[in-house]
Structure 1
């Protein structure tokens, strides 16, 4: 059975197909996670967490043929969360115990020798970001992955993925030079002096010290002369076998049995506890292990209680039927529909890059029964189904402009319009699944170009895995598309300044004009409470971004003291890791929940 057929069968509830899919994906996920995390003891937890999410969210996968890149995207999120937590709790000199080294496992289990062994040893000298790229590229070179799949997992285009691979390759070659020089007998006298006191464990401080000598030493560089290109060494290289315990646990998860994670000693205190997961009839129930064992903060298993568990994806025929082909209405009929939207009472008639609607706690959606969904709080009418295929930035705008779905008048949503349907309380995907079924947990285009116009041009995209907004997408890249229809508008917010406060009539929000000093998220909560205000939600703070400018990306007449490149806290917890908060950076207006440890508070009333 073809991989696509297996995925479709698994989405329809076929237990054997689900088990077959997990068995097929598990070796790839294990090898990528193991190499990206350098064999940290939590690799098995990260792999199990990834497979749990794959099984749980399989119904949201719209394109069965992209299952591997989709699963790798989930793995990348789990790896990134783990790296962020580990870097926050461990010093530079702390490393996992030697027995957990993934490269050592590769050397032993695959019987690597000569220059292949040297490449595995050189991987230990890479930093986290380059190890993650290597983990994917290694599978590319071995023939397990295509470049497009690696790029999708990295959340970028194949062209930019090639740039990242090139950068990693340069660092890997320097690592190979270090390994070759250290292995030389006798060792260069200058290198022996530079490495004096080194305990034999690769680390960033020793990498800098040793590399500083090797790159300027003709004797050491001679040891690396004539090395075979890495891709030739890795061609056809096998995958490291998955440990029996991990394979058994993943199979039980796929088959609908219970899974209890093992509790093992840790060098870091990252995952010193377990959670019990019970899969029953395609749905998952989550129960916490007995008290006394702290819950791992970077490995969230349970979905928010408000998230309905999807057991099967809509069939292609159902998705197609949600976009009926209708005769194009006359201009007068289309104009009448737009006027009706404008007359509904929401919307201040601003340009589409600004929020023209009052803020509400949560949107209320109405399925209009014709392939469209109306948000009653914003009066925006959305295409219910995602576009059948991905598009470049220009093609995405053309697709929406030409969409004939219950009339015309469609456009690619702006950054703030697309932000309005993010449900940050969920992940995988971060959207109301009842209103927008089948939404992939992937990046979607907005119509908002990046304000910086240097080549290559970029534009804003939003990741519906968790809701992250980024201005880093090359316009030549291909991402998902969902169109929107709205009333006409023009102009900017008419802020009303009164002393230390700024009111936005369009959203109904009153802002603190300045901001606090840098502080933790908890301190920011208390700071705003002392002012009789509160921290804004992610959706609310996003309305203040002026995407036509940068550094800072905000109206500086209304908010003159805004820090050019600083994180501003929100009250919104990150669904992938509820121990962290979303924050927004006014350098451009992008958002993140993994990078901010301290930030400013701009309170709202």
Structure 2
């Protein structure tokens, strides 16, 4: 037996005797594996975090009953798979009674998280996409086999978790792989551009959500279609693609929640508080603080605001790693130090030039000034920002209440609108996609905006921005919990007073001049770049807009298209428009914006329109 095995055995024995440090170390070590197995098995269901927490609590509670320390990992996986089964049974029972209150968002599920965090591309990304089409039972098998193929667990542990023999586990894996391979071809066919005409007819009426019924319909077409089958003539074996594939990092809020509910660090209250603050600020997993520091002074939040992590008092303190100048003052000044600038439009519009990342060489280079007292000013927009991320995660109403009640530097704060939060996105960075000198300790996670989605069907949604890479999404249920950074501005009212003349649209607020018509058809990003460079209109020099510049044209109060239709007639109601911004997570991809409602993306965008800009 190796020294590592001896240490693990001693650690387990100590944990079973009640040693908190040993128990906490084991819990932290296995949380990523549990999160990955449950997340993939439940296909990113909103209850994933709850199931993970319940699993870890059972592990901690029942650890003294473990008789064979060498089987710890298999034992934990068995509990995880059992909890997945319990959740699936409850969901099926609820579905028989009536519609589910919340439907998983396929645009923000576990596989999407895996693609983003692990930067999966090519056929690896396609495998992740294909797994969404598996049945619940096959997803559980895949969740275990994925970790087996990646070298995290062994076949024996997979079999134990499935409550079967290794031989029958192999049979179940083989069945799952056959379905996964068919789903890979299905995904490739759906992503192909131009899409097979027969397939396009087959998917008429499809709501874009993977499901058994549509899988059968699409698979029936693909199996007999030489055009679709030719798309992936010789795919790489799945197990080869998964070798060395890392675990998806555990979200910071989940780590903190498990730590709180499981009693991690309970015997070290100061270290516990610092640990959770550091987790939430840095987006990492919890660790013991090497040196206890005095706890930051807390400030009250709006009455009735319930934080997502109970061990950290809601406050406006800067992250533990931030310099002293980042700490908000606990003494309110007479009035907030706001400075109005720009056109003074309503906050949902850009009243100022849109900042561009310094590396792009474009006009209005982003620049920030630390005003002290935990406030940072954007020198281009004049917006003043809370330098430290809010300490917890919040629902949409809680996020608005938190900012409204924030007393930092005299108050006057609000939850930023979609365009306000977009203005600090730095598309040349990722993990996080913003200036980390101005905003130290910023987590690479989703942040709320105050902008609700224009479509008011229930459950209500609102816009969020993922600061892993800067993606803007309308897919957040307002009951979900995300991060918060508050803003302060001079206020205003009204919409842009566009001036239209000679095929051009001038936005006096941003100073940008737009090509009114845009391209007649779609093209590649390279062709769009060349098209704008070659444009001869009004004697101006034209180019593709940056990501933030194009976002300033979105009218998020409407959809299809989400733009001023009088100023920009003929805008595609559901089509991508290219930007000049290369995607930091994938330099081979280019950012684009879709005027269906204004969301942005860079994955799977192969063709788009060009709307040129001059500045």
TM-score range for the pair, normalised by the shorter chain length:
0.5 to 0.7
Structure 1 position 426 matched with structure 2 position 429: yes
Identify if the C-alpha distance between structure 1 residues 122 and 208 changes in structure 2 by more than 3 Å, giving closer, same or farther. Answer: farther
1:485 aligns with 2:488: yes
The one of 509, 520, 523 aligned to 2:527 = 523
Matched position secondary structure for 2:372:
coil
2:342 corresponds to 1:347: yes
Tell me, in whole angstroms, the C-alpha distance in 2 between the residues paired with 1:526 and 1:376.
32
RMSD between aligned alpha carbons? 4.9
Alignment of 1:413-452 (within 5 A): 413-452=416-455
Aligned pair in 2 of structure 1 residues 603, 561: CA closer, same or farther (>3 Å)? same
Tell me if the contact between 1:460 and 1:472 (Cα under 8 Å) persists in the aligned partners: yes
Q: Is the 8 A contact 1:323 1:405 kept in 2?
A: no
Q: Secondary structure at the match of 1:524?
A: helix
Report how many residues are paired.
395
The answer to whether the 8 Å contact 2:514/2:612 transfers is yes
Residue aligned with 1:578, SS: strand
Residues 1:124 and 2:177 aligned together: yes
Is 1:110 the equivalent of 2:158?
yes
- SS of residue paired to 1:124: helix
CA, structure 1 residues 567+83, in 2 after alignment: closer, same or farther (shift >3 Å)?
A: same
Q: Which residue of 2 aligns with 1:359?
A: 354
Residue number among 544, 565, 576 corresponding to 1:556 in the alignment: 565
Shift in CA distance, 378/21, structure 1 to aligned 2, threshold 3 Å: farther
CA contact (8 A) 2:355 2:423 kept: no
Report deviation, 1:368: 1.0
For residues 310-389 of structure 1, what are the structure 2 equivalents within 5 Å? 317=296, 319=319, 322-330=326-334, 333-334=335-336, 337-338=337-338, 341-342=339-340, 346-361=341-356, 362-389=365-392
> What per-residue deviation string (whole Å, max 9, x for no partner) do you get for residues 453-500 of structure 1?
111111000000100000111111111000000002100001111121
1:146-157 aligned at under 5 Å gives the runs none
Match of 2:473 in 1: 470
Cα–Cα, structure 1 residues 401 and 110, in superposed 2: closer, same or farther, change >3 Å? Answer: closer
Structure 1 stretches lacking a partner, 5+ long: 2-18, 38-68, 92-100, 132-166, 179-202, 211-264, 275-309
Deviation digits for residues 14-49 of structure 1 (CA, Å, limit 9, x no counterpart):
xxxxx9999757756886899999xxxxxxxxxxxx
Residue-by-residue CA offset, 1:583-602 (whole Å, 9 max, x unaligned): 00000000000031000000
2:116 aligned partner? 77
Q: CA deviation at 1:123?
A: 3.3
- Over 3 Å counting, the alpha-carbon distance change for 1:127 and 1:470 in structure 2 is farther
Matches of 2:511 and 2:110, distance apart in 1? 41
**What TM-score do you get using the length of structure 1 for normalisation?**
0.56
User: Residue deviations 1:202-240, cap 9 Å, x none?
Assistant: x97369769xxxxxxxxxxxxxxxxxxxxxxxxxxxxxx
* Separation in 2, partners of 1:604, 1:434: 30
C-alpha displacement at 1:86, in angstroms? 6.0
1:205 — aligned with what? 219
**Equivalents in 1 of 2:354, 2:473: separation in Å?**
22
Query: What secondary structure is seen at the aligned counterpart in 2 of 1:522?
Result: helix
Distance 1:381 1:103, change over 3 A: closer
- The TM-score normalised by the length of structure 2 is 0.55
Residue 488 to residue 597, structure 1, CA distance change in 2 (3 Å)? same
